[in-house]
Amino acid sequence: MEKIKFFDDHQAPPDNILKEARIQRSESARLQLQMEAPLIERYSTLEPRTLYPKGVRVTFFSGADNPTAILTAKRAVQYDKRNLTEVRDSVVIIDLRSGDTTYLDELIWDAGQHRIYSEKPIRSVNGPRVTLGDGFESDDGMQSPQIIHQRGTVEWKED
């Protein structure tokens, strides 16, 4: 019976497929984020989830439709029961206010706690300054991004 459950949960075809998707989230008629994905696959198996196997691009907004940050990744999965979204593989966050570009392997969005975080190594670049750290944390609107356990900042100049 366990083999059948495993097969049903991990090998079943998607229930829904959406191509070239653009999804917007707003609160009180104010745009908070816009997500774009070339392919979305929805599964309603033992652990309902939504896969973004060809990547995702999320633009975060503040106030009157002002973009504040852009996040891209090559893969993502959203777990319905846990209210979590994981983005993986070449995650890049561009903070449009500061000009920082942050590189990670993985980022987790906990929608229930309104928190975005990672416990994986991080590299943040702002012009000639590179900051390394052991994690990342922000509110889910990307209004207060922080590097956790900064290990140092290096400034370099090209000749």
Q: Which residues contact 1 (CB under 8 A, 6 or more apart)?
A: none
Residues forming a β-bridge with 37: 21
CA distance 125 to 29: 34
**Below-70 pLDDT ranges, the chain:** 1-11, 64, 158-159
Residue 11's CB is within 10 A of a number of other CB atoms, namely 8
Beta-carbon contacts of 16 under 8 Å, excluding residues fewer than 6 positions away, are 40, 41, 42
Cα 76 from Cα 108, distance rounded (Å): 10
> Among residues 136, 142, 140, 75, which one has the least CA distance to residue 104?
136
Instruction: State in Å, rounded, how far the first CA of the chain is from the last one.
Output: 65
CA dist., res. 73 & res. 57, Å (int): 7
Name the residue type at position 105: D
CA 82 to chain centre: 16
Domains in the chain, ordered, with CATH? 2-155 (2.60.450.10)
Tell me what pLDDT residue 9 has.
Answer: 52
Please list, in sequence order, all residues whose beta carbon lies within 8 angstroms of the beta carbon of residue 40, skipping any fewer than 6 positions away: 16, 17, 18, 19, 21, 50, 51, 52
- What is the reported pLDDT for 85? 93
Q: What is the predicted pLDDT for the residue at 35?
A: 92
- In eight-state DSSP terms, residue 41 is E
* Residue 74 confidence (pLDDT): 95
